[in-house]
Amino acid sequence: MRKTRYAAAAMAAAAALTLSACGGDSGSDSAASGDGENIRIGIKFDQPGLGFAESGDYSGFDVDVAKYVANELGYSEDQIEFIETPSAQRENMLENDQVDMIFATYSITDTRKEKVSFAGPYFVAGQDLLVRSDSDITGPEDLNGKTLCSVTGSTSAQKVKDGIANDVNLVEQPSYAECVTAMQGGSIDAVTTDDIILAGLASTDANKGQFKVVGNTFSEEKYGVGIQKGSDKCEDINAAIEKMIEDGAWEEAIKKNTEGADYTFNAELNPPTMDACA
The domain of 191 spans 127-213
In a domain, 146, yes or no: yes
CB of 125 within 8 A of CB of 224?
no
Q: How many domains does the chain have?
A: 2
Instruction: Profile the chain (278 residues) by mean pLDDT over runs of 10 residues.
Output: 40 39 40 69 93 95 98 98 95 98 95 97 94 94 98 88 97 91 96 90 84 87 96 98 98 86 80 94
pLDDT confidence of residue 124? 95
Q: What pLDDT does 34 receive? A: 54
Output 141-146 pairs: Cβ under 8 A, ≥24 positions apart: 141/165, 143/168, 143/189, 143/190, 144/168, 145/169, 146/189, 146/190
Within this chain, do residues 77 and 158 fall inside the same structural domain, yes or no?
no
For residue 268, what pLDDT is reported?
Answer: 85
Closest by CA to 51, choosing from 40, 62, 41, is: 62
What is the domain-level CATH number for residue 42? 3.40.190.10
Between CA 24 and CA 123 the distance in angstroms is 35
Establish if 262 belongs to a structural domain: no
* Rounded Cα distance, 46 and 256, in Å: 18
pLDDT at 244: 98
pTM for the complete prediction?
Answer: 0.74
Do 132 and 143 belong to one domain?
A: yes
- Model pLDDT, residue 27: 39
Same domain, 139 and 192: yes
User: In terms of domains, do 67 and 173 share one?
Assistant: no
Shared-domain flag, residues 118 and 132: no
Between strands 147-151 and 190-194, the pairing is parallel
Q: Are the C-beta atoms of residues 130 and 204 closer than 8 Å to each other?
A: no
Looking at the structure, tell me whether residues 116 and 132 fall in a common domain.
no
For 179, how many CA atoms within 13 A lie in the half-sphere containing its CB?
Answer: 31
